[in-house]
Amino acid sequence: MKFLFSLLLFSFAFTASSQTVTAVDYIKTKPGEFDNYIEFLKKNWVVARDKAKEKGYIVSFQYLTNREDTSWDVTLMTEYKDEATYKEREKIFQQIFKEYFPKGAILVNGKRSKDMADIKMSKEMKKE
Q: Where are the domains of the chain?
A: 19-126
Q: What is the pTM of this model?
A: 0.83
Looking at 3.20.20.70, 2.40.110.20, 3.30.70.100, 3.40.50.970, the CATH number of the domain 19-126 comes to 3.30.70.100
CA–CA separation, 75 and 64 (whole Å): 5
| 85 close to 49: Cβ distance less than 8 angstroms | no
DSSP for residue 45: I
| Backbone torsions φ then ψ of 15, nearest 5 degrees | -60, -45
The pLDDT assigned to 12 comes to 40
pLDDT digits (tens, 9 = 90+) for 72-128: 999 999 999 999 999 999 999 999 999 999 999 999 999 999 999 999 999 999 987
pLDDT digits (tens, 9 = 90+) for 24-66: 999 999 999 999 999 999 999 999 999 999 999 999 999 999 9
